[in-house]
Amino acid sequence: MPAKLSEDLYHIRGSFGSNIYVITDGGLTLVDGGFPMDLPAIHLAFRALGASPRDIDLVIATHYHGDHTGTFAGLQKRYGVRSAMHREDAAYASAQCPQETTDVPFFTLLFYTLLWPLFRYRHFQPDRHLEEGEVLDLLGGLEVLHTPGHSPGSVCLYGRGRGILFSGDLVRNERGVLEGPPPHYTPDEEAAAVSLRRISELDFDMLLPGHGEAILDGAGDRFRALLREGKIWPLC
């Protein structure tokens, strides 16, 4: 069952801590799609909502990484679902550019290598490019903010009127610890620092991160307090 966050917003818990959000305002929209093996979870969640994946109007990626776009190729191929992401990540998603590489801990690399068939990237062709400053007609207006660092085309979606921020991996809340992007998977630390400073200037209460628990109230104040204390990488 999807967890209800508000009257028009639901959460699907994906594999290995990846979050999938369903917006039911003005149709059906997914924000991020989890790993490839999360397609059954999406099926079950939509069945509980009295719908089907073929009813999805759009899937939006906060960035191209496979734990956020793993189901996009399957949804596109099986149901003709349209996808959207920033143009600077689109070339990676469609295999026009080789994906970025970073140094990761040995056991993490071994884990993904052994389970390669499950985690193999499923390339897809995005149907739409999200632009900086574009406002999506969702949840009273979601503004696209280009927030690179974790990937060149990472975006956050900001609902100014309702104080909502979809933060992707720029801000996470894993194990109840509010933090910046994962260092091992963030090639451009300087860009990530700039993006985090930008987010700190926004007025938001609800944080919907790519990983970890959603924060439904007071998220912006909590984030800025940790920032001042020097606890948000790479602004430490």
Reply yes or no: is the peptide bond before residue 187 cis, omega within 30 of 0.
Answer: no
pLDDT, residue 173, reads 97
* Residue 74 lies inside a defined structural domain of this protein: yes
Which CATH number fits the domain that encloses residue 149?
3.60.15.10
- For the question of whether the overall pTM of this predicted structure is more than 0.75, the answer is yes
Q: What average pLDDT does range 71-83 have in this prediction?
A: 97
pLDDT cut 90: percent of the chain above it: 85
User: What's the CA gap between 187 and 184, in Å, rounded?
Assistant: 8
User: What is the identity of the amino acid at 178?
Assistant: L
Domain assignment of residue 43, given as a range: 3-228
* Residue 233 lies inside a defined structural domain of this protein: no
Question: pLDDT tens digits for 18-41?
Answer: 999 999 998 999 999 999 999 999
Distances (CA, A) of 46 to 8, 56, 199: 14, 9, 31
Domain count, the chain: 1
* Residue 125 lies inside a defined structural domain of this protein: yes
* Residue 234 lies inside a defined structural domain of this protein: no
Question: pLDDT tens digits for 83-135?
Answer: 999 999 999 999 888 666 665 564 454 444 545 566 678 999 999 999 999 99
Q: What average pLDDT does range 3-24 have in this prediction?
A: 96
Classify the C-alpha dihedral 22-28-34-37 as positive or negative.
positive
Read off the tokens for 49. Answer: 């909502």
* Residue 236 lies inside a defined structural domain of this protein: no
pLDDT, residue 95, reads 87
Question: pLDDT tens digits for 143-174?
Answer: 999 999 999 999 999 999 999 999 999 999 99
pLDDT, residue 111, reads 45
User: What's the CA gap between 149 and 194, in Å, rounded?
Assistant: 8
Report, in angstroms and rounded to the nearest whole number, the Rg of the chain calculated over CA atoms: 17
pLDDT, residue 110, reads 45
Mean pLDDT computed over every residue of the chain? 92
* Residue 235 lies inside a defined structural domain of this protein: no
Say if CB 143 and CB 134 are below 8 A apart: yes
* Residue 77 lies inside a defined structural domain of this protein: yes
